Amino acid sequence: MASVLEIKDLHVEIDGKEILKGVNLTLKQGEIHAVMGPNGTGKSTLAQAIMGHPRYEVTGGEVLLDGESVLDMEVDERAQAGLFLGMQYPSEISGVTNSDFLRSAINAQREEGDEINLMQFIKKLDKNMNYLEMDLDMSTRYLNEGFSGGEKKRNEILQLMMLEPKFGILDEIDSGLDIDALKVVSKGINGLRGDDFGALIITHYQRLLNYITPDNVHVMMQGRVVKSGGKELAERLENEGYDWIKEELGIEDETIGADA
């Protein structure tokens, strides 16, 4: 049965300031949803809060994965339950090689004594790196250290492909990418598309959606989802911008705090 990720009336604060003011969204495996919206409307906060970023405090609502409360889980448990967050600004970890890190991450999801066989791991890693047109020597470099913006994003997608989560939440995975890198990243995500993968793609550029066709599109403003629709919504946003939505909903300033 397809897994379901439900976000219900989610309220989130950062440093005492409310950013999300009741977000509702349901995502099923097999679906790709895009969350769009101008800057400063709470899109990244949504992604970080679902994964459990330490700076974000959930003050209300719930996030359920197949009916189980994600918010009660530690960050690593969320990942083990099948969530993955592709970060906008991945951390650099000196002294830990990319491949050692990936192997630890894969083994963390497996039972003790059932660790991934080294040859199997290397085969899978090589295959995915080739698919993403990554230099193979990147596996022996320290995790994200000295990587260019594009390399970091590719590396996030590589992790996504290696870990095969139920749901991938991709936070501005397209920002700072040139067109070639954007195509490669899109190829990676499209390759995972299928009955046992769902994605929440956060972006404020329609550009990415030229390469990844979403099943659903949500627009966030003022810390809420204010409009949802199919892929035609993204197309209309590309052609007409956000102003028509603001007009329709009577919103003057779409950023958080503007309505307070």
Partner 1 sequence: MATDVNEFVINADEVIARAKERGESELLISKKQEALDKIESLEMPKPDKTKLNRWDFFTAAQPVTDSSVYGSLEELPEAVRNLLDIEHTKNIYVQHNNTPAYLQVSDELLDKGVIIENIIEASANHPELVEKYFMTDGVRVDEHKLAAFHTAMLNGGLFVYVPKNVQIEDPVQMVVLHDDEKASLFNHVLIVADEGSELTYVENYLSGVDKSEEQVNIVSEVIAKDNAKVKYGAVDFLAEGFTGYINRRGVTGRDADIDWALGLMNDSHVIYDNTTYLIGDNSQSDLKIVVVGRGEQKMNFTSQIIHYGKDTNGHILKHGVMKDAASSIFNGVGLIKHGATRSDAQQESRVLMLSEKARGDANPILLIDEDDVTAGHAASVGRVDPIQLFYLMSRGISQKEAERLVIHGFLDPVVRALPIESVKNQLREVIEMKVLSK
Binding site residues, partner 1, CB under 8 A: 51-54, 74-76, 78-80, 84-85, 87, 90-91, 93-96, 101, 104-105, 108-109, 142-143, 159, 163
In this structure, are strands 224-229 and 167-171 parallel, antiparallel, or unpaired?
unpaired
Residue whose token pair is 């250290």: 145
- Cβ contact 246:252 at 8 Å: yes
The residues with which 221 forms a beta bridge, in sequence order, are 224
- Between 24 and 109, name the residue whose CB sits nearer to partner 1: 109
For the bound state, the minimum distance from the C-beta of residue 172 to partner 1, rounded and expressed in Å, comes to 16
For the bound state, the minimum distance from the C-beta of residue 111 to partner 1, rounded and expressed in Å, comes to 13
What is the CA 73 to chain-centroid distance, rounded?
18
Q: Which two tokens stand for residue 18?
A: 């409310």
- Between 96 and 122, name the residue whose CB sits nearer to partner 1: 96
For the bound state, the minimum distance from the C-beta of residue 83 to partner 1, rounded and expressed in Å, comes to 8
- Cβ contact 202:49 at 8 Å: no
Closest CA to 37 of 259, 258, 255: 255
- Between 120 and 213, name the residue whose CB sits nearer to partner 1: 120
- Between 76 and 126, name the residue whose CB sits nearer to partner 1: 76
Q: Which two tokens stand for residue 221?
A: 């403003």
Closest CA to 132 of 171, 82, 177, 72: 177
Q: Which two tokens stand for residue 144?
A: 């994200």
- Between 47 and 245, name the residue whose CB sits nearer to partner 1: 47
Closest CA to 167 of 134, 202, 143: 202
- Between 93 and 136, name the residue whose CB sits nearer to partner 1: 93
Amino acid at 196: D
What is the CA 116 to chain-centroid distance, rounded?
25
Helix 98-108 to helix 118-131 angle (10° resolution) is 120
For the bound state, the minimum distance from the C-beta of residue 230 to partner 1, rounded and expressed in Å, comes to 30
For the bound state, the minimum distance from the C-beta of residue 178 to partner 1, rounded and expressed in Å, comes to 24
- Between 143 and 256, name the residue whose CB sits nearer to partner 1: 143
For the bound state, the minimum distance from the C-beta of residue 78 to partner 1, rounded and expressed in Å, comes to 8
For the bound state, the minimum distance from the C-beta of residue 250 to partner 1, rounded and expressed in Å, comes to 38
